[in-house]
Amino acid sequence: MVLNRYGPSMARSMHVRRPATLASLAAELGVSRTTVSNAYNRPDQLSPELRRRVLETARRLGYPGPDPVARSLRTRKAGAVGLLLTENLSYAFRDPAAIGFLEGLALACEDAGTGLLLVPASPEREDVAAVHRAGVDGFVVYSVPDDDPHLAAVLERPVPTVVCDQPDLDNVDRVGIDDRAAMRGLAAHLIALGHRRVGVVCMRLARDRNDGFVSVDRQHAAHFHVQRARLTGLAEEFAEAGVDWTRVPVVERFDHTIASGASAAAQVLDRDPGITALVCTSDILALGALQEAERRGLRVPDDLTVTGFDGIHEAERAGLTTIRQPVMEKGRAAGKLLLDASERTRPRTVDLGTELITGRTAAAPHSAQEERWFGP
Amino acid sequence: MVLNRYGPSMARSMHVRRPATLASLAAELGVSRTTVSNAYNRPDQLSPELRRRVLETARRLGYPGPDPVARSLRTRKAGAVGLLLTENLSYAFRDPAAIGFLEGLALACEDAGTGLLLVPASPEREDVAAVHRAGVDGFVVYSVPDDDPHLAAVLERPVPTVVCDQPDLDNVDRVGIDDRAAMRGLAAHLIALGHRRVGVVCMRLARDRNDGFVSVDRQHAAHFHVQRARLTGLAEEFAEAGVDWTRVPVVERFDHTIASGASAAAQVLDRDPGITALVCTSDILALGALQEAERRGLRVPDDLTVTGFDGIHEAERAGLTTIRQPVMEKGRAAGKLLLDASERTRPRTVDLGTELITGRTAAAPHSAQEERWFGP
DNA sequence: ATGAAAGCGCTAACAC
DNA sequence: GTGTTAGCGCTTTCAT
């Protein structure tokens, strides 16, 4: 069963082996190429006996079956979909939300018997070649900025594309959630609890690194639609509650890590120690904020309310108040949309639902003190 | 920037657009195909002015650049490596060890600018076609049984292959750890603590489902080399300590989940309530065993010692005594090995190190009682 | 049931 | 610098 691919005959060559081709096999057998092709692709088109002979000779000659690339060229089907991510490929395997998305997408691909090609497109390296090189029947684009050159390259390719989360483009299929509405719901919850002085920690708003405070202008101009929508939702809801949004400290972090969340939280709390709630636009950042709160001896939620967004497992374990979004379902839906050839006549949109998770990290401001004053 | 791919002219067609080809572009420009090709691949081979004209006309005609599949056929390079996994594709995103491996592999691919194609090969579906269809320059095979038909299909393809963990094949590059030695180390640790009556929970030993006790024969015949090695290591070390291995209850689970670990632990404990240590061949299973111990009111490690294998984060959080193996490094090493064309003259092996993590789940048998009798 | 012919879209020698 | 000539290895009408 196992081929010896390191025999003496190979020792000189860099290549593994120059395999026989369909043509050479046909010649050896004294039949036409069509027949050999049929032996592999249309067993019913030739006598079982001949087919057996073909396959057996193939085995003897070490013919590995039709070359997939040549077949793809001929049939115009690659049998794979490409995935373009915001971040380094390897980062995707560290972000629970991305992992969930991948799981769902993989599921959809599996169901369709389609391969999933992870395209090596780092955001720093502006090398779009990887997109051009990808032999795929379509692309799924996961959460990239609207001015991402890789995205532009994908859209130039003559294959269907589905975007998950961002950007929101006319004429391109999309699956996502209503980030603005979800965040308004969370904000309403905080407002109902009594919070009026809040701070915000958000993810990267553009491709340039800006680890620090965010002007209202930058909030509006954010190239990441999702972050923009979440900030907008917050701003709207709090404005309606009488909060002057221009005075709310919003701190941005380029890197999406717990450490980033912690340092951003520190920056907000340093600027305005009087805030009663720290709204983070992701669970990862919120977990960092919790760390920072603990470091400062602030009890959560007694001294400080902290909220997240995503609903990852780690957040659940931490009892985080957050918005849960169906990350895996997003991946599935994106895959299905892409692989479902039917009705590809106009852009389709799938909007999935979210859920407010009331955890143990949000409470009325200064509830501890009040309890102390008025009894439990 | 964004193409309208749903314009009225398209409405009738299932296809997105029939793009111009390199040839048609050359014709339009009145130059040869070579020149157009050079415009994309060898900018230095033509005047900047002509190149500009070519690219501009391409844009005007909606020519998306050289077709990647045709290019691959011609250059005999796909620009991607394939990954074959034991489990369903989607499962890989639920197993922390597999995720770590993927992260490392993605890292290596990224460094090389290579795509990573996840091959949709479910273990149940014996459909090997996906392997045949994969347009890749090589394969990484992650932890499959030695009789896996997908593996056989991969090995028949005329491209280099690297196996991670299992199986251990002559003539095929491999990266892994010394599972037997690692497990002997863990066993020695338990023996030093005083354990002599132990039970074992292990992962799937073959492609057939056998959720239950494992005969010594089945242990030896296991098609998963890694599990076999771990069991062998255990058996050897305990045998040297005078334990009759044939009497040690070993329970197997097909599904690799926490729930499986719990039910398997229950099965062992039901069979022999007198055991003092439960050795699990993975952290996931061990986490299940911990659950079951708690359910029974057994205190760990006072009443029962539990150990794992892998060193995943969740295990660390649980304070599990386990063997840590460098999962991410395995991925990286596998990728590097595959992508490093040099010295591919004879099979190479990378053996990575492991580390015994002494957590809070292993102690001397009945230490609690002893403490109670003799004071702390 | 089998074969002949015609490309799929591109790149790489090699000539000019 | 630019064009000519050959394929890469395969599938697919369309005849026979």
| Cis peptide bond prior to B64, omega within 30° of 0 | no
Pairing of strands B212-213, B198-203: unpaired
Residues 139-168 of B with CB under 8 A from A: 152, 155-161
Architecture per CATH, B179-326+355-374:
3-Layer(aba) Sandwich (3.40)
Q: Which residues contact B191 (CB under 8 A, 6 or more apart)?
A: B237, B238, B241
Q: Identify the residue among B89, B163, B332 best suited for mutation to test binding to A, counting A beta carbons within 10 A and taking the highest.
A: B89
Q: Which of B6, B17, B155 faces A346 most closely, judged by CB atoms?
A: B6
The two tokens of residue B303 are 């009443």
Chain-chain contact of B347 with A17 (C-beta, under 8 angstroms): no
Pairing of strands A277-280, A305-307: parallel
Judge: B117–A80 Cβ closer than 8 Å, yes or no: yes
Comparing every residue's Cα with the C1' atom of nucleotide D9, the nearest one is A70
Instruction: Answer whether residue A18 shows pLDDT above 60.
Output: no
Q: How far is A12 from chain B (nearest CA, A)?
A: 8
Which candidate, B222, B287, B277, B232, places its Cα nearest to that of B254? B222
C-beta atoms surrounding B28 within 10 Å: 16
Q: Is the pLDDT confidence value at A150 over 50?
A: yes
CA of B32 to C1' of D4 (A): 9
CB spacing of B64 vs A109 below 8 angstroms: no
Interchain CB distance below 8 Å, B109 and A120: yes
φ/ψ of residue A258, rounded to 5 = -65, -40
Q: How many CA atoms lie within 13 A of A198 on its CB side?
A: 33
Q: How confident is the model at residue A101 (pLDDT cuts 50, 70, 90)?
A: very high
Q: Which residues of A touch B127 (CB under 8 A)?
A: 113
Structure tokens at B90: 């989607």
List beta partners, residue A323. Answer: A356
The candidate with the shortest Cα–Cα distance to B344, out of B142, B154, B172, is B172
Measure CA to C1' and name the residue nearest C7.
Answer: A74
CA–C1' distance B74–D7 (Å)?
A: 9
pLDDT band at A329 (very low <50, low <70, confident <90, very high): very high
Distance of CA B265 to the CA centre of its chain: 25
Nearest nt by C1' to A76 Cα? C8
- Answer whether B16 sits within 8 Å of A170, measured CB to CB: no
* Least Cα separation, residue B139 to chain A (angstroms): 13
Over range A172-188, report the average pLDDT: 97
Amino acid at B121: A
| Unique residue bearing structure tokens 């997003």 | A330
Chain A (79-108) residues lying within 8 Å, Cβ to Cβ, of chain B: 79-80, 82, 88-90, 92-94, 99-100, 102-104, 106-107
End-to-end CA distance of chain A: 74
**Strand D close to A369 by CB, under 7 A:** no
Query: What pLDDT, on a 0 to 100 scale, did the predictor assign at position A8?
Result: 31
Look at residue A124 in the predicted model and tell me its pLDDT.
78
Q: Which residues pair with B277 in a beta bridge?
A: B198, B305
The rounded distance, in Å, linking the Cα atoms of A97 and A261 is 16
SS3 percent helix, strand, coil of chain A, rounded to 5, is: 45, 15, 40
- Whether B201 contacts B268, CB under 8 Å: yes
Question: Is A171 in Cβ contact with B2 (below 8 Å)?
Answer: yes
pLDDT bucket at A345, cuts 50 / 70 / 90: confident
> Residue A10 CA to D6 C1' — how many Å?
28
Helix (H) / strand (E) element for B293: namely helix B283-295
A315 CA: distance to closest CA in chain B (Å): 14
Asked if strand D comes closer than 7 Å to B73 Cβ, the answer is: yes
The CATH classification of domain A79-177+328-352, taken from the options 3.40.50.2300, 3.40.50.620, 1.10.238.10, 3.40.50.720: 3.40.50.2300
* Å between CA of A73 and C1' of C8: 5
The distance (Å) linking the CA of A139 with the C1' of C8 is 22
Residue A155, CA atoms < 13 Å, CB-side half-sphere: 21
Query: Distance between CA atoms of A282 and A163, rounded to whole angstroms?
Result: 20
CB contact under 8 Å between A89 and B99, yes or no, is: no
Which phi and psi (to 5°) does residue B88 adopt?
-55, 145
Q: Is the pLDDT of residue A372 over 70?
A: no
| B41: β partners | none
Nearest CB to B156 within list A64, A69, A171: A64
Domain ranges of chain A: 79-177+328-352, 179-326+355-374
DSSP state letter for B310: B
Asked whether residue A14 carries a pLDDT value surpassing 90, the answer given is no
- What confidence score (pLDDT) does residue A367 get? 53
**B353 vs chain A: nearest CA distance in angstroms?**
22
CA of B27 to C1' of C14 (A): 22
pLDDT over threshold 70, residue A322: yes
Q: At what angle do helices B22-29 and B48-61 cross, to 10 degrees?
A: 120
Contact between A72 and A135 (Cβ < 8 Å): yes
Query: What are the average pLDDT values for consecutive 10-residue runs of chain B, which has 376 residues?
Result: 34 46 89 92 89 92 93 95 90 95 96 95 85 97 95 94 96 96 98 97 96 96 96 98 97 97 98 97 98 97 97 96 98 96 81 98 75 41
> Which chain A residue has the Cα nearest residue B9?
A345
- B366 contacts chain A (CB < 8 A): no
What are the CA-CA distances from residue A107 to residues A208, A282, A335, B126, B148 (Å)?
34, 25, 8, 17, 21
d(CA A90, CA A257): 14
Reference B333, options B159, B40, B137, B109; nearest CA is B109
Mean pLDDT of chain A, nearest integer: 90
Evaluate if the CB of A281 falls below 7 Å from strand D. no
- Judge whether residue A142 has pLDDT over 60: yes
Q: Which nucleotide has the shortest C1'-to-CA distance from B77?
A: D8
Encoded tokens for A345? 């006549």
Phi, psi of A98 (to 5 degrees): -65, -40
| pLDDT confidence of residue A344 | 74
Q: Residue type at A261?
A: G
Q: For strand D, is any atom closer than 7 Å to the CB of A71? A: yes
| The residue type at B281 | T
Please count the CA atoms within 13 angstroms of the CA of A302 that sit on its side-chain side.
9
Q: Which residue type occupies B162?
A: V
CA pair distance A343, A345, nearest whole angstrom: 5
Q: Which of residues 274-313 of B touch A (CB under 8 A)?
A: none
A41: the nucleotide nearest its CA (via C1') is D11
Give yes or no on whether B79-177+328-352 and B179-326+355-374 have one common fold. Answer: yes
